Amino acid sequence: MFAFILSRLFQAVPVLLVVGAIAFTMFAYVGDPVTIMLGQDYTMAQREMLVHQLGLDQPFFVQYLNYLWAALHGNFGVSYRLARPVGALILERLPATIELSMTAAFLAVAVGVPLGVYTGIKRNSLGSRLIMIFSLIGVSLPTFLIGILLILFFAVLLGWLPSFGRGDVIRMAHWSTGFLTLSGLRSLILPAITLGLFQMTLIMRLVRAEMMEVLRSDYIKFARARGLTDRAINFGHALKNTLVPVITIIGLNIGGLIAFSIVTETVFQWPGMGLLLVQSIGVADIPVMSAYLQLIALLFVGINLVVDLLYYAVDPRLRLGKR
Amino acid sequence: MLARFFDSDFFYSFRRNPVAMVSAAVVFMIIVSAVFSPWLAPHNPFDLASLNLLDSFKPPFFQADGELSYPLGTDDQGRDVLSAIMYGTRISLTVGVLAIAFAMVVGIGLGLLAGYAGGAVDALLMRIVDVQLSFPAILIALLVDGIARAALPREFHDRIQLWVLVVAIGIAQWPQFARTVRGSTMVERGREYVMAARVIGIPSVRIMLSHILPNVLGPVLVIATLNLGLAVLSEATLSFLGVGLPPTQPSLGTLIRIGNDFLFSGEWWVTIFPGLTLAVMVLSINLLGDWLRDALNPRLR
């Protein structure tokens, strides 16, 4: 077990270093910060002094290490667009994105798993067929279009829910939450559905396929022969065994949720990290982009590590195979 | 040749599958209307002289104020929405097809190299593929687009934005091609015809390109179709986010973004019709790809 974790960590470190190098190359060589900082009139001496102060006359490798060291301490430079430290900017936006993604993930699991079980057990009922058609539409509609359609119906035509922003938030130390106010919760509904719908259909289809597979197996036939109730078979025996791949997919898809929150946040003007990134790309704000790249890489490597470990913990075959 | 095609198993399975036939028909119609849009579209949305602000925000023909000459209504500048969609589909498809072509060339090349050379080259390339596949494609396309935006001078960038998108989306999608081609190449490498070619001293590059390549193209075709839908969606998403094609070259995504501003004032048709076109197109391409995958898989026959 320990060796497994260690080997995974050794694989993760180079990835982070390479992503760090890409982020640093962007940071250092795209655009010329010295010219931006000096303005119009300057002498060569002033320029050289600034170059020296910023450490830009040092070798590439030294600069790279300095950059990584600063990044490890949460110092990602200053945004060109907003003239504020990038670390603070991202930290400010982080709660909005995390609350949105977690709500969407919760929604996807809470609705997707029961629907998957239902369509897996009652395969040919009218309800199942309708749900399957609905899920096909959910898979092929692009995220932003789902958002636009939801806004059209629930905000413009019916006027039930707000169409943009986070509503009122309550600040607690470094965290701002929209969970505790009515307008915050109302604002969360449409974005969370938009973001969660694709994952929900994915989870539903996966649970359905796994249920159908498991229900065919011998031990289920045996359980039926023993005269167990349908309820005990479906939930006690079948569902439990379908959950292994489902956990993996959910884990891996948290990354997808964060990537697509960029789109959802733009549609609903949700003040999270994704909206910050899109606005920064529009005006080529490199420090924000490179910081975002590194944070996302860290997050993804972390998620993959956790999923690997979870797999290892859940599937006994993997443990036996290693010995 | 044609008779052989109509007689094949492939065509038989196509005729037996109504979903495949309908989606093929839809894709065909969309491609025809996109390619021939300058001749088929009722108006030219780029001809500024023909635009009249008095025609702006006409609703689609089935609503009270609608006119048949603007079947799907008009936008804020009096442009015909139907014509804009036809021209926009053309741009969307162009970017999608070119991006897939780019991803295919890079992916097939590196996949052949990894599978044929093996060893350290293979390990390195597949490691890159693994890492890239663990990040969502749209995120990679977004970042490549952002880097290009920062690295190139503004005016130059605006002019070549279409190519920037092609490269950004292509880079995001090459790993799938590389992984598949590498797998089949490793199988083919051990076959006798490859050994024979090696023995008579044919250079490796030629063995890869003219002997192995034709034998690994089947699965590539399926991935290309399935990824075409994804590429079109990626382009639409980037354009929707405002970092794709500019309003002077409006793709479907750009049209949806522009129309989105008028949603609240009730002019829903400016954004909903391009959106539906995109959804129907992507759905049909995906269904066609699914069918192709099953039809070319001998185990399912």
Report the gap between the CA of A292 and the closest CA in chain B (Å). 10
Q: What pTM was computed for the model? A: 0.81
A277 has a chain B CB within 8 A of its CB: yes
Query: Best mutation site among A140, A205, A299 for testing chain B: the one with the most B CBs within 10 Å?
Result: A140
In a domain, B3, yes or no: no
pLDDT in tens, A147-186: 888 888 887 778 787 777 777 777 776 777 777 677 777 7
Q: Is the ipTM of this complex over 0.85?
A: no
- Cβ <8 Å between B134 and A304: yes
pLDDT in tens, A281-290: 877 777 888 8
How far are the Cα atoms of A213, A227, A234, A240 from residue A217, in angstroms, in the given order? Answer: 7, 16, 12, 14
For chain B, residues with pLDDT lower than 50 are: 301
* Length of chain A in terms of residues written: 323
Alpha-carbon torsion angle B69, B74, B77, B80, nearest 10 = -50
For residue A231, pLDDT beyond 90: no
In a domain, B115, yes or no: yes
Distance CA B245, CA B87 (A): 13
- Cβ <8 Å between B233 and A142: yes
In a domain, B73, yes or no: no
pLDDT at A34: 66
Single-letter amino acid code for the residue at B278: L
How many other C-beta atoms can be found within 10 angstroms of the C-beta atom of residue A269? 12
For residue A321, pLDDT beyond 70: no
- Cβ <8 Å between A282 and B242: yes
In a domain, B273, yes or no: yes
Quick one: which of B272, B299, B290 has its CA closest to B19? Answer: B290
And the tokens for B258?
A: 């522009």
pLDDT at A323: 44
- In a 10 Å sphere around its CB, with 0-12 CB exposed, 13-18 middle and 19+ buried, how is residue A239 labelled? buried
Backbone angles phi, psi at B80, to 5 degrees: -70, 125
A296 has a chain B CB within 8 A of its CB: yes
Pair B185, B116: CB distance under 8 Å: yes
Confidence of residue A32 (pLDDT cuts 50, 70, 90): low
pLDDT at A281: 81
Which residue reads 């950059």 in tokens?
A: A67
Distance CA A160, CA A154 (A): 6
pLDDT at B99: 93
| Domain enclosing residue B144, as ranges | 96-295
- Cβ <8 Å between A142 and B150: no
Pick the residue from chain A with its C-alpha nearest to B286: A140
Quick one: which of B164, B136, B170 has its CA closest to B148? Answer: B164
Distance CA B227, CA B225 (A): 5
How many interchain CB pairs under 8 A, A with B?
102
pLDDT at B97: 92
SS3 annotation, chain B: CHHHHHCCHHHHHHHCCHHHHHHHHHHHHHHHHHHCHHHHCCCCCCCHHHCCHHHCCCCCCCCCCCCCCCCCCECCCCCEHHHHHHHHHHHHHHHHHHHHHHHHHHHHHHHHHHHHHCHHHHHHHHHHHHHHHCCCHHHHHHHHHHHHHHHCCHHHHHHCHHHHHHHHHHHHHHHHHHHHHHHHHHHHHCCHHHHHHHHCCCCHHHHHHHHHHHHHHHHHHHHHHHHHHHHHHHHHHHHHCCCCCCCCCCCHHHHHHHHHCCCCCCCCHHHHHHHHHHHHHHHHHHHHHHHHHHHCCHHHC
Q: How many domains does chain B contain in total?
A: 1
pLDDT at B126: 86
In a domain, B220, yes or no: yes
Report the gap between the CA of B272 and the closest CA in chain A (Å). 8
Of A30, A141, A148, the CB nearest to B151: A30
pLDDT in tens, A129-144: 888 877 777 777 888 8
Of A136, A148, A255, the CB nearest to B275: A148
In a domain, B256, yes or no: yes
Distance CA A114, CA B123 (A): 42
Give me the domains of chain A, ranges plus CATH numbers: 90-288 (1.10.3720.10)
Q: Which residues numbered 96-155 in A keep a CB inside 8 Å of some CB on B? A: 136-137, 139-145, 148-149, 151-152
Which residue reads 């604002």 in tokens?
A: A187
- In a 10 Å sphere around its CB, with 0-12 CB exposed, 13-18 middle and 19+ buried, how is residue A85 labelled? middle
Of A144, A281, A293, the CB nearest to B243: A281
pLDDT at A35: 67
Chain B contact set for A77 (CB, 8 A): none
Chain A contact set for B274 (CB, 8 A): none
Could you report how far apart the first and last alpha carbons of chain B are, in Å? 23
pLDDT at A36: 63
Single-letter amino acid code for the residue at B4: R
pLDDT at A260: 81
Q: Any idea what the CATH number is for the domain that residue B257 is in? A: 1.10.3720.10
Pick the residue from chain A with its C-alpha nearest to B273: A145
Quick one: which of B116, B123, B40 has its CA closest to B85? Answer: B40
Query: Best mutation site among A7, A8, A145 for testing chain B: the one with the most B CBs within 10 Å?
Result: A145
- Residues in contact with B212: Cβ distance below 8 Å, sequence separation at least 6, in sequence order: B112, B116, B185, B188, B189, B194
Pair B110, B132: CB distance under 8 Å: no
In a domain, B47, yes or no: no
Report the gap between the CA of A191 and the closest CA in chain B (Å). 16
pLDDT at B17: 78
- Ranked by mean pLDDT, the top range of A41-45, A67-71, B282-286 is B282-286
In a domain, B37, yes or no: no
Beta-strand relationship, A170-172 and A175-177: antiparallel
And the tokens for B7?
A: 């007689």
pLDDT at A320: 63
pLDDT at A38: 66
How far are the Cα atoms of B97, B114, B160, B243 from residue B166, in angstroms, in the given order? Answer: 9, 24, 10, 13
How many other C-beta atoms can be found within 10 angstroms of the C-beta atom of residue B68? 7
Report the gap between the CA of A172 and the closest CA in chain B (Å). 31
